[in-house]
Amino acid sequence: MTKVLRLILGDQLNLTHFWFEKTDESVTYLMMEMRQETDYVIHHVQKVVGFFLAMRTFSQTLQKNGHRVRYFSLDHPENLQNLKNQLEELIQKEGFTRFEYQLPDEYRLDQILKEVCESLPIPSSAVDTEHFLTSREFLKDFFKGKKTYLMETFYREMRRKYDILMDGKDPLTGQWNYDHDNRQALKDKKLLKKPLIHPKRVKEILEMIEKAGVKTIGKIDSEQFTWPVSREESLEILEYFCEQLLPNFGAYQDALTTWDPYLFHSRLSFSLNTKMLSPLEVVQTVEKYWFAHQDQISIAQVEGFIRQIIGWREYMRGIYWAKMPEFGDLNFFGHDRKLQNWFWTGNTKMNCLKESIGQSLDLAYAHHIQRLMVTGNFALLAGIHPDEVDQWYLGIYIDAIEWVEITNTRGMSQFADGGIVGTKPYVSSANYIKKQGNYCDHCAYDSTKKTGHGSCPFNSLYWHFYARNREKLEKNPRIGMMYRTWDKMGNQQEVLDQAEFYLRNLDSL
């Protein structure tokens, strides 16, 4: 008799996958909460709770729909806490005749599964997750023979391929990209909307995690967990985004403010990365909503959002599969400092970092510009080892899964890839942070000062970064101008001395 075991990983919660179209008595679905996954990095406690809750909800839905599911909670007495051992034992003891899995998104799990399958006594096969718009190899093949990859070229191809915001072969409204319109600081508090949350009690699951001794970071309110854990909740958040947040999404996408942690961001990354929602349904829903409300929402808002998903998100995945595993060791600048202790507490006098880190610890969330231009910017200017930076980002955010974390962190943010993901390092002095919002208004440091007591560390570290990396960066056509400004600066030595002082005292900034 045929007996099939099908594995569902914690980030494969795609109810629309063909596997679940009809029930089949011969198929058992396997889901596991494992120490292997809770311990490969120190995760935010909300991330562990979020994944387990979403997995449990998914398993219940499958069972309700008539599917057979074997679910191992973390405290299940037969849980071996390791994918390889659990699979081998189940297959051997229960007489499965075939093993099937969906292609994992992480290189680590891909290797484990390949290894397991080679040693199994039964046939095995992998199917696509049916989530992404492109195959793992698409981006590599698309840019074959080219020296550099360009996100914008890839993004336009996705727009054409899926006919999104298109008028035949041309972009609808005549322009591909409205990034220039989308860089405003938020001046009016009244525009802000409360996020749509689905509060849940998570006391029992939290106790189970604590009792098992899983090490976590960050805070959680066990009476009110706020992340979506089902497809229904995720769809409601998408709908709320269209109605309430989309009209201002693009305009304030890069804003930095103490007023609100989410601004007009969608909070959809967890739903997308666990595959409760598909990227295509998200962009098509947003596009459709915009078609019906063009009088209220400008194209810049919509294009900005769609680019993040079919552009950046899909592009990062392509880079990951084109460049792993080497990508994980890249360190273009040879940075080697350790991450400061205050990254784990938020206890720093630099207000932009205190706010961004504090919020990350409280909510397991920071929006893109906080990640890129505050925490990431500082880590790059301070010369922190990319391994250290990666570990932090991979642990702290609810949406952090390696394929999208490492490409953003090591690539886009730390430029440790020497320019595969981006064309130049994202660094800035206090000028940018001040321009984008109100962090500097409440800071112990003076954003206008480069040197002297109380001068903002970003200012001197910024020039120190350029000065120490001159050989590596000067020839970059997008950067050359910075060196002309630097060469004209009168007090170079003073600026470098100030930066050196801060670099010697990073722990107490």
Ligand X SMILES: Cc1cc2nc3c(=O)[nH]c(=O)nc-3n(C[C@H](O)[C@H](O)[C@H](O)COP(=O)(O)OP(=O)(O)OC[C@H]3O[C@@H](n4cnc5c(N)ncnc54)[C@H](O)[C@@H]3O)c2cc1C
Residues lying near ligand X in the complex (CB under 6 A) are found at: 265-269, 272-273, 308-309, 312-313, 316, 367-368, 371-372, 376, 393, 397, 399-400, 404-405, 408-409, 412-413
Least separation in angstroms between residue 258's CB and ligand SF4 is 10
Q: Which of 183, 184, 181, 156 is nearest to 170 (CA)?
A: 156
Rank residues 86 and 402 by Cβ distance to ligand X and give the closer one: 402
What is residue 339's DSSP assignment? P
Identified binder of ligand SF4 from the candidate list 101, 445, 463, 502, rule CB under 6 A: 445
439 sits near ligand SF4 (criterion: CB under 6 A) = yes
The residues in 333-352 that bind ligand SF4, with binding defined as CB under 6 A, are: 350-352
Provide, rounded to whole angstroms, the least separation between the CB of residue 409 and ligand X.
Answer: 4
- Binding partner of 299, given ligand X, ligand SF4, none, CB within 5-8 angstroms per partner class: none
Picked from ligand X, ligand SF4, none, the partner binding residue 456 (CB below 5 to 8 A depending on kind) is ligand SF4
Task: Specify the stretch interacting with ligand SF4 by CB under 6 A; choose among 52-60, 187-195, 215-223, 443-451.
Answer: 443-451
Q: Which does residue 397 touch among ligand X, ligand SF4, none (CB within 5 to 8 A, set by kind)? A: ligand X
- Whose Cβ is closer to ligand X: residue 41's or residue 440's? 41
Q: Give residues 399-438 in contact with ligand SF4 (rule: CB under 6 A).
A: 430, 433-434
Nearer to ligand X, 249 or 445 (CB): 249
Residue 212 near residue 262 (C-beta atoms within 8 A) = no
| CB-nearer residue toward ligand X: 320 or 462 | 320
Of 31 and 443, CB closest to ligand SF4: 443
> Which of 307, 403, 346 is CA-nearest to residue 299?
307
What is the C-alpha separation between 318 and 313, in angstroms, rounded?
9
For residue 345, what are its two tokens? 């507490």
Q: Which of 81, 216, 436, 447 binds ligand SF4 (CB under 6 A)?
A: 447
Residue with Cβ nearer ligand SF4 (45 or 350): 350
Strands 124-127 and 98-102: parallel
Q: Which does 265 bind (CB under 5 to 8 A by kind): ligand X, ligand SF4, none?
A: ligand X
CB of 238 to ligand SF4, least distance (A): 33
In the complex, the smallest distance separating the C-beta of residue 487 from ligand SF4, rounded to whole angstroms, is 25
Write the CA distances from 154 to 282, 382, 421, integer angstroms.
Answer: 19, 32, 12
| CB-CB contact of 275 with 379 (8 Å) | no
Long-range CB contacts for residues 500-508, cutoff 8 Å, separation at least 24: 500/464, 502/457, 502/460, 502/461, 503/337, 503/382, 503/383, 503/461, 503/464, 506/337, 506/340, 506/382, 507/340, 507/341, 507/342
The encoded tokens of residue 196 equal 């749509």
Distance of CA 236 to the CA centre of its chain: 21
Binding to ligand SF4 (CB under 6 A) within 452-481 occurs at: 456, 458
Alpha-carbon distance of 252 to 243, in angstroms, equals 16
Q: Which is nearer to ligand SF4, 116 or 381 (CB)?
A: 381
**CA gap 136, 246 in Å, rounded:** 30
- The token pair that represents 280 in the structure block: 């295509």
- Contacts with 387 (C-beta within 8 Å, 6 or more apart), sequence order: none
Q: Which of 363, 368, 411, 403 is nearest to 386 (CA)?
A: 411
Kindly tell me which of 20 and 445 has the beta carbon lying closer to ligand SF4. Answer: 445
> Closest separation between CB of residue 207 and ligand X, Å?
27
Tell me if 99 contacts ligand SF4 by CB under 6 A: no
Q: Which is nearer to ligand X, 20 or 397 (CB)?
A: 397
Nearest approach in angstroms of CB 348 to ligand X is 18
What span, in angstroms and rounded, lies between the C-alpha atoms of 298 and 248? 9
Classify 67 as helix, strand or coil. coil
User: Mapping DSSP to helix (H, G, I), strand (E, B) and coil, where does residue 236 land?
Assistant: helix
**Site residue total, ligand SF4 (CB under 6 A):** 13
- Buried b / exposed e over 32-64, threshold 16 CB at 10 Å, is bbbebbbeebbbbbbbbbbbbbbbbbbbebbee
Q: Quick one: what does residue 32 bind among ligand X, ligand SF4, none, with the CB cut-off 5 to 8 Å set by partner type?
A: none
| Stretch of 95-103, 207-215, 439-447, 470-478 contacting ligand SF4, by CB under 6 A | 439-447
The secondary structure of the chain in percent helix, strand, coil, rounded to multiples of 5, reads 50, 10, 40
Applying CB under 6 A, which of residues 91, 282, 380, 440 lies at the interface with ligand SF4?
Answer: 440
Name which of ligand SF4, ligand X, none residue 427 binds, using a CB cut-off of 5 to 8 Å depending on partner kind.
none
374-388 burial, b at 16+ Cβ within 10 Å, e below that, comes to bbbbbbbbbbbbbbb
Does 38 contact ligand SF4 by CB under 6 A?
no
The site partner of 408 among ligand SF4, ligand X, none (C-beta below 5 to 8 Å per kind) is: ligand X
Chain centroid offset of residue 295 CA: 32
Binding stretches for ligand SF4 (CB under 6 A): 350-352, 430, 433-434, 439-440, 443, 445, 447, 456, 458
